[in-house]
Amino acid sequence: MLAHGGGAGGDNERQAAALAARIEVADRNVAGLDRRLGQIDSAIEEAAKRGRTNAALSAMETQRRVRAGLASERNEAAGPGRSG
């Protein structure tokens, strides 16, 4: 008989709910970072399609560090085994 209401089962449910909330936040962060990476890639691709090779190369060089940082942030947010 549990006098304090819920016992270990309640603790497990709270932990599971907290973990699910953290996963949801991480998923949203990953989606936002994926969107930003896609925008960088699209801008470079569009410049290359329009025959603006120098602009595309310049954009690639300028965005290389930004993209690397975003990719690293995305992988950290995704967690182990979820780097996509």
Among residues 39, 27, 15, the alpha carbon closest in space to that of 74 is found at 27
The pLDDT value recorded for residue 14 is 93
Task: Please give the torsion angle defined by the CA atoms of residues 4, 6, 8 and 9, in that order, rounded to the nearest 10 degrees.
Answer: 180
Q: At residue 17, does pLDDT exceed 90? A: yes
Choose the most confident range, by mean pLDDT, from 18-22, 44-48, 49-53, 79-83: 18-22
Q: At residue 73, does pLDDT exceed 90? A: no
**Amino acid, res. 64:** R
Q: At residue 5, does pLDDT exceed 60? A: no
User: Is pLDDT larger for residue 16 or for residue 8?
Assistant: 16
Domain boundaries, the chain: 31-78
- Cα–chain-centroid distance for residue 55? 28
Tell me: the pLDDT tens digits for 33-65?
889 888 888 888 888 888 888 888 887 788 888
